[in-house]
Amino acid sequence: MTDQPTTQTVKPVKQKKRIYQHLYFWVLLGITIGIFIGLFAPGVGADMKWLADLFIKLVKVVIAPTIFATVVVGIAGMGNLAKAGGLALRTVLYFNITTVFALAIGLVVINVWQPGAGLGYDIDSFDTSAADSAIASAGDVEGGIAGFVLGLVPTSFASAFVDGQLLQVLLLAILVACALTMLGSRAEGMVRGLDTFAKVMFGVIKMVMWFAPLGAMGGIAFTIGEHGSAILGSLASFMVSFWVTCLLFIFLVLGPICYATGFSLPKYIRYIKDELLIVLGTSSSETVLPRMLTKLEAAGTPKHVVGMTIPTGYSFNLDGTAIYMSMGALFIAQAFGVDVSIWTQIGLLVFMLISSNGAAGVSGAGLVTLAASLAAFDSVIPVAGIALIVGIDRFMSEGRALTNLTGNGIGTLAIARWTGELDRDRLKYVLDNPTTVDVDALMKEEAEAGLRQTAEATGSDNGTDGPGPDGTTDGPDAPSDAADSRKEPAAEGSSRG
């Protein structure tokens, strides 16, 4: 679909920020300091995990309500359930296809590399106590299709938010959005209210993000201080093979998808470097979800596509987790001298395709879902062998989170292109000039717009025009520098599809 060219005045490019004014500089500094602490004061580093945990908790407080509000506004804003259903179907289909590729490439590499061959562990004499926690958690996860479907439904509306179950929050958001769409104009007030609420959550996230450097420092210091010796141990080959597989997946699977969508993978990675550094330090892709929503919308993806695809991807598109699960299962089998037939591996792949979809709602998702999958194949691969990789799971967690984040963003752009709604001129401009998108300014503007809408609604009820926080009455659509940065390419015409 091609839009008619429009003519707009392009504002002069704002002065570049100094390097110390960028979030990535402080996150990178925090990671560097954390590495030094972990290497030279491992005892201190091992006690710094609370910094990363505190940062992740601060973010998770607003993740579920942000996803709920964003999905509801995205679907209800489309005003057409058939169109929303088509977008949801394409999203789930795309993410499951890429997950199959992730599982398959993991199986191929682990069979060729064989990092566990020759370790010669005996399950009868092996100390499996380290696996007790993961196995116990896996026992609480219902397996199979029935368990997955039952896990979608919360025990109450509030429990999904209290427990942080993203799949359940997503289901509730879809149901509420459908109900609001059927109400038509009567639901406009509630949709505006939820939109305002989402923008306020973005403002909260913006404030929390400035704690990211300390969170990254604490996470890296703990990882190296607590588990640094594992890097030089017998598990080093497995860790290297996993990280290599993640890179192969990104460049051999996601790379062609980027090319087909019409953009460069290296430029995309440069565009989200801040988010990648935060995830590297905290080992959690959830910490940057609101920032990804803002960045992808600024890059030319319609708000309703971003609002549907990114939250869905956090539940259905865990490519890094899928790679970890397939490689972890075969590594354990190799370490204990178990020969797994190709048909059993295919069956394991199918089972993991289902179980990985629920991983986003499980604490320690990768390890627990791997244990749950192996429990179904315990007659072939000893589930107690999980104890072998518990000590290095933190190093693997960083690779999982980075791969998940990269895949979710690329998937959002690919689906927008598939639906013919991607502003390709805008995307090209942003990837060529990433500094033109100030995500912190955009998130601040979103929060201020939400407050302005609330003030206007209150003023309307009182019979006034409802001036904004700055005393003006421009309304939510008043121009701003951050918003104008999204429109700059329109001076030469806009192309979608």
In this predicted structure, what is the pLDDT of residue 308? Answer: 84
The two three-digit tokens of residue 484, written as one number:
């104008």
Mean pLDDT over residues 220-231, rounded?
71
Q: Which residue has the higher pLDDT, 89 or 485?
A: 89
Which of 332, 333, 297 lies closest to 412 in space, CA to CA?
Answer: 297
In this predicted structure, what is the pLDDT of residue 355? Answer: 67
In this predicted structure, what is the pLDDT of residue 475? Answer: 41
Residue 423 sits at φ, ψ, to 5 deg, of: -80, 95
In this predicted structure, what is the pLDDT of residue 364? Answer: 52
In this predicted structure, what is the pLDDT of residue 291? Answer: 86
Contact between 76 and 191 under an 8 Å Cβ cutoff? The reply is: yes
Decide if pLDDT at 455 tops 70.
Answer: no
Contact between 403 and 285 under an 8 Å Cβ cutoff? The reply is: no
pLDDT digits (tens, 9 = 90+) for 131-186: 555 555 555 555 556 666 777 788 888 888 887 777 788 888 888 888 888 888 88
In this predicted structure, what is the pLDDT of residue 116? Answer: 80
Residue position matching structure tokens 């368990």: 147
In this predicted structure, what is the pLDDT of residue 430? Answer: 92
> What predicted TM-score, i.e. pTM, was given to this entire model?
0.73
The two three-digit tokens of residue 415, written as one number:
């689906």
Q: Hey, what amino acid is at 409?
A: G
Mean pLDDT over residues 316-326, rounded?
84
Distance, CA of 100 to CA of 349 (rounded, Å): 8
13 pLDDT band, cuts 50/70/90, is: very low
In total, the chain counts a number of residues equal to 497
In this predicted structure, what is the pLDDT of residue 261? Answer: 93
114: CB partners within 8 A, 6+ apart: 334
Distance, CA of 312 to CA of 314 (rounded, Å): 5
Alpha-carbon radius of gyration of the chain: 23
Distance, CA of 59 to CA of 67 (rounded, Å): 12
Residue 496 sits at φ, ψ, to 5 deg, of: -120, 155
pLDDT digits (tens, 9 = 90+) for 360-379: 544 456 677 777 777 777 77
HSE, CB side, 13 Å, CA atoms: give it for residue 164.
16
pLDDT digits (tens, 9 = 90+) for 33-71: 988 888 888 888 888 888 888 887 887 788 788 888 888
